[in-house]
Structure formats: C-alpha cells, structure tokens
Chain A
Amino acid sequence: MATSDSSPVRLLYDVRVRAVLYQVVAVALVVGIGFYLFSTVSRKLADQNIATGFAYLSRPAGFVISQSFISYDSGDTYGRAILVGLLNTVWVSAFAVIISTVLGLIVGIARLSRNPILSTLALLYVEALRNVPLLLYLFLWYALIVAVFPPVREAWQILPEVFLSNGGLIVPSLRWSSAHTGVLAAVALGIVLACLVASAFRRKRVATGRSRMAWPYVLAALVVPALLALLVFQPDLVVNWPEKGRFRITGGVQVTPEFTALLVGLALSASAGIAEIVRAGILSVGRGQWEAARSVGLHDRQTMRLVVLPQALRVIIPPLTSSYLSTFKNSSLAIAIGYPDLVMVSNTTMNQTGQAIEGIAIFMLVYLGMSIAISMLMNWYNARVALVER
C-alpha cells in the first residue's frame, strides 16, 4: 500500500482527497457561473446603453403613488418612492399578521369545540380558504368591493363625515404634527413601563410568596407618561374633515379598496393556516397535563393559562413564524390588484429607468433582510418559551 500512495490514481480513491476535490470543483463551478453571468450581463447592458449603478435613486421619480404614509409627490426621488412602497408593504403585512393571529386563534379553538355545529363551521372556513389560491381571493374581494359599493358620486354616508364607496372608505383625520408623534411615543413608553412594572411585581410575588396589589402601579406606569407628554407638547386638535364634492371626496384619510382587498385576502388566508397551527398546538398537550393541573387544585382558566398554553406555545411558535413570513412575502401579490407595495413601485421604477437589475436587487435584498429579521425575532421568542431540559 505504502508504495502506491504516491500514485495519482491511488490518490483519487482517498476519501479525504476526494472531499477536497469535490468542494474545489463545486466552488469553481459556482464562481465560474457567477463570473459568466456577470460578464454577459455587463456586456449586454453596455451594448444596450443602459446605465448601471444606483445613481438613479436620487433622480425625481415623476409618478404618483395612490397611498403613502410619508409625504410623497411625483417630484420626489426614486429612492423615496421605493421607501414609500416598502412602508406600504410593511403596513399591510403588519395589519394582516395581527388580524390573522386573532382570527386564527378563535377559529383554531372553535375547531376543537365540543359543539359539533361550531367545529364543522370552523372546518368549512379553514377548508374554503386553504383550497383556493390567494390570488383568486384577492381578485374576488377586489371585484366584490367594486361591484357592491356605489360609485364615489353616490357614496354612502354611513356615519357623519364617514363615506363609503367603491373608491374606498373615507374618515376624518387629525392634522398630524411632531407634538402628536411625541404623545404617541409617550404612550408607547407607558405600555413598555407598565409591562415592566407588572413583571417586576410578578417576580416579587414568585420570590416571596406574598401577593401585593399591583394594578394601581401598573395603571400609573401606563397613564403618567402620556399625561406628562400631553402637558409638555400640548398638541392641538385640528381635524381634517372629508368634504363631498361633485365627483370626488376631498380631505380626510382614505382607506383604498386595493388596501382593503389585500388586507382581507392576506388576513383570511393566513388565519386558516394559523387556525390549524393553534389546533395542533393545543392537541399536542397531553390529557395528563389537564388532569395533573386539576389535581393540584388549579381551576380551568388557570390550567389553560399556566399549564396548557405555555406548552402549546412551544409547538405553535415555529410554524407561526413561517406563517408570518409567508404573509409578509405574499403581500407582494399586491401588484396584481394595484396596491402600491414595494414590488409594484420597483416595477414602475424599472419600467421608467430600464435599470431592472438594480430594481430587482433592491426588492429582493429588502425581502431577504426582512425575512431574516422576522425569523431572528421569532427565534429569540421561541428560545424563551422553549423547553429547558435538565
């Protein structure tokens, strides 16, 4: 054996040599393909006289976006237009995630009901949503909104100063200023403070075994920052009332039918998945856990809150994460019904500038980054609720 070790043919049969060889070949292949693609693309772009690089982001966009949460007009830059699209994506997905979680929890529990009528209805709900493509539902909701609601000229006035038409829902809005932002930040701070105080009380109770009245402190932590902020900033209340003209309604804030259709479609289809996740989670907690909790004297509500839900959450969180992620990614279907999300704005940008590669690179990186961020956040939460083995 020792004599033939040096022969190159023998060497090829060595597992370690082969391992290195395979990896070198794989890397060379990937690098080679990458280089080939890069060189072809740059040659073709040069041939077609298409500029490369991201300089176009600072040029004026020149198109209108029907819905934006930051001030935007057609004179603003492409960069700002894409930011508007991104915010629209985040906005609609965040809403859809919240609604679908609540709906999914309710339907998932209803699926487990001892009442056969309720559990059958919940099953029908889940099946009806899971067996039809989301895109079809989006078109259907959009068509329903446009078909069922009257044109803008004959808008229904459902409440004083609230108009509903196939142009969307229009409600009065507050003229926003930095003072309002300050108050909002204070309210958020109050919520965080209240949570901290509540958990401090809980820790103390667990440590000492004595329970003290916590709610006045929690309430104070919740309310005081907001009140202080109101005194300091003194925001003025100027309401922007909608006014009905001959052809359109001006003023107020508009919830567009595109947004509504997308939100309803995303939230409903995600809720069906979450319902199944919740159901599986609760079923995964063994019957013995209920019996054990009863035998130590917990009543039903305590059993659910202290024994069953914490264990069910361990099973629920990982699939819930992927459900949230797919809701976020599915919001890109917005382009089909004309909601100006990241993909749609990028698409318009690409059509105007011809810089397709940069446009696609931007929105792919954004989606990738957000996906990684969401899954890291949920992994952190999962690690907190995960089973700690001895």
Chain B
Amino acid sequence: MTDTAQLNTLASVPDERPTRPASSWYALFKPYIGSPFNAVVTFACLWLIYRLVTGAWGWLVTRAIVEGGPQTCKAAAGAGACWPFLAAKLRFMIFGFYPYDEHWRPAIAVLLFLGAMIYSMIPRFWSRRLLWLWLAVVVICGVLMYGGVFGLSVVNTTNWGGLPLSFMLSSVGLAFGFILGVLLALARSSKLPAIQVIAVVFIEMIRGVPLVSILFMASVMLPLFMPDGVTIDKLLRAQVAIIIFAGAYIAETVRGGLQAVPKGQHEAAASLGLGYWLSMRKIVLPQALKIVIPPLVNIFIGFFQDTTLVTIIGLLDFLDTVRSAMRDPVWQGIAVLEGYIFAALVYAVFSYGMGSYSRFIERRLKTDHSHGRH
C-alpha cells in the first residue's frame, strides 16, 4: 500500500492533535500550505490549472480563427480552433440528413420534448396527467418528424439523424426499457421457480455481454428471425436492442428496490385481500420505485451516453453526424477536434443536468422519508 502515506496526509480525517495557536492568517492558509507536502500539492495544482486554462484560452480564443473558410483554417495549421467549421456545419450536426428546408420540424420536436422533460422533472407536477402529456408529446413529435399529414411532406426514418435521433433512441428505449425492467424485476423476485429462472437467465445473459454485441445481433440476426416478407426498419432494430439492454439493467435496479420494501408491506396488502397485481401496483411498487429513483436516473444518464454506440451499426445519431461533418471533403483534415469538442459539450450539458437533478431528487426524497417516519 504505497498510497497509505498519502492517505494520511490527504484524507479528510478528523484530526484532533494539538495545533499551533490559531491566527487568522494561519487559519486561512492552513488547508493550502498546512504541511510541506500539502504546499507542494497546492503549487502543483495551481501550476496545472494555469497551464490548462492558458492552453485552452489560447486555442479557443486568442489563436482561434473566427472568420473565413476552410482555407483560412488550413493556413493556421491547427494553431487555434476553427470556428467557421462549426458555424458552417452546425445545422448538419444537429439535424443530420433531414431535408434542410424542413429543419424547423425536428427543432420544434426537440424543444417540445425538452419542455415536457423539464416539466415532468418538477415534483410539484407529478401526477397521472403527465402520462397524457407524454402521450400527446410523443404523437406530436412523431407527426412532426415523419409528416404525411397536414400538408407535411413525408420524411423517411433513413433521413432522421443528429440530436433528435439521439433523444428519440434514448427516451423511447428508456420508457419501454423501464416497463420491461419492472416486469423482469417482478418475475425475478417471483415465488414461482420457472418464471424466476427464465427472468434470471434473460437478465444475466443480457448483462453479461456488451451493448455492441446486442446491437450487432439486432442488425444482423433480427432479419433472419422474421417471417418472410417482413422487414424491420434499421432504426427500429437498434431501438429494440436498446430497449432489451436497458430493460435488463433497470430490472436489477428495481429488484434492489423491491428487496428493500419490508415484508410486512406484502403481508399487510395480502391481509387486506389484495391479489398479487393489485398489491404490487398499489402497495409494493410505489415504495420500491421511490427508493430507486436516484440510481435509475444514473442508469438513464448512462444510456443517454450509450446511444452513441448505434453509430457502430451505421445509424446517424448525433455523434455520427458530427463525425460525418468532419469527414466532409471541404473540411477534411482541417477541423479534426472542434466537432468532438462541440459534441462533448452537448453531451456534458445534458448529462450534468440530469446528474444534478439526480442529486436534487435524492435530497428531496430523503427528507420526505424522514418526515414520513414521524
């Protein structure tokens, strides 16, 4: 254990050894230069921060090319960021091959989706109405994206891409994955051995293999499983793979919540004469799901990021449209990092937002619980 020495100096362990008489200056600087080792750490960190900030500032701002085209950026030879690339390719990155004049449709769909998302994240609005809201949002988004009615031209799913596709894959995947996951969790904690075994085998098989392999299976093997004449859309195949994968992971989380519900709750429900489904729906699941909301949100963040893997089987999600933009012959080899950095920022904003929400909800549920105990 070479790290134990560092542990002693670094870990926030209560330290009650007599210290020097406190002067205000000493108290102010003690966390930074309290011991020689700590002083070295502080200065090393400051140096690192200085290098990172100046380096990033120089590349992003002072040396960056703000105006011009591919030639200006090429002349600069990568000394600074090439912002004209982002400006020229921004709409393609976000909407992919969706017809250029119809970009307002996915834009409205994404805004609607995000609005509904934010609305349903606020605990005050939690009610059954949300289900209807989401149903409406899904229908409107679907109509907007696909068209064919109200004079909207039809846009095939092969032309869908970019951010709307990423949102769709992750949200539909998680919604159906959640239903599948709850059913699997119930099956796995069932008292009937055959059903339990089926659930265990399914969950462990899915969790034991990488998502890439399931996506491959969906794209290569699913067509073989279908009866003659039935073809499934490539997008739908990837969506099915994501649902199955998400379902297995959600099932394990929900099972944790089911185990945390005291046995007395099951017995109380049974003594009231409630059958299995009624007692699950009214008594057990509401408590179990409430416990697992924070880990579920973490799973959601993970799956939002994992939808990037569909680019491996050739779907045009956000990461893929960003890469296509960088491979554009006009820009190829000129802007090699800007696109990735933009995409990373977009993913980071959404993931960090959901992560903060997870922490907020964790705090809130905790206080709710302690009030309930009184």
Contact = CB atoms under 8 A, between A and B. Distances in A.
Interface in A98-136: 105-106, 109-110, 112-118, 121, 127-128, 130-136
A329 B245 CA distance: 13
B303 to A, nearest CB: 10
A111 to B, nearest CB: 9
Interface string B159-196: 00000000000000000000000000000000111110
A239 interface: no
A40 interface: yes
Interface stretch (B18-26, B97-105, B134-142, B205-213): B205-213
Contacts of B301: 131
A364 interface: yes
A236 interface: no
Nearest to A356: B220
A304 B305 contact: no
Given A22-B192, A115-B32, A133 B319 contact: yes
Given A109-B10, A132-B347, A356 B192 contact: no
Contacts, number: 182
B110 to A, nearest CB: 19
A357 B216 CA distance: 10
Nearest to B351: A131
Given A121-B45, A330-B210, A112 B78 contact: no
A45 B221 CA distance: 11
B198 A27 contact: yes
A16 to B, nearest CB: 11
Q: Majority SS of interface residues in chain B?
A: helix
A364 B226 contact: no
Contacts of A134: 305
B90 interface: no
A290 interface: yes
Nearest to B11: A112
B347 A360 contact: no
Interface residues of A, number: 67
Contact of B31 (A22, A116, A132): A116
A330 B210 CA distance: 7
Contacts of B5: 301
B14 A368 contact: no
Contact of B348 (A131, A368, A371): A131
B323 A139 contact: yes
B195 A117 contact: no
B87 interface: no
Contact of A26 (B31, B195, B224): B195
Most buried by B among A22, A118, A343, A350: A118
A357 B198 CA distance: 22
Contact of A332 (B42, B194, B212, B221): B212
Interface in A133-163: 133-137, 139-140, 143-144, 146-147
Contact of A118 (B45, B225, B319): B45
A113 B12 contact: yes
B194 A133 contact: no
Contact of B347 (A44, A115, A136): A136
7 contacts: A23-B194, A37-B225, A133-B308, A305-B4, A309-B4, A356-B220, A357-B221
For the complex of A and B, the 3 pairs showing the least CB-CB separation, nearest first, are A23-B194, A133-B305, A131-B351
Interface of A: 19, 22-24, 26-27, 30, 37, 40-41, 44-45, 105-106, 109-110, 112-118, 121, 127-128, 130-137, 139-140, 143-144, 146-147, 282, 287, 290-291, 300-301, 304-305, 309, 329-330, 332-333, 335-336, 343, 347, 350, 356-357, 360, 363-364, 367-368, 371-372
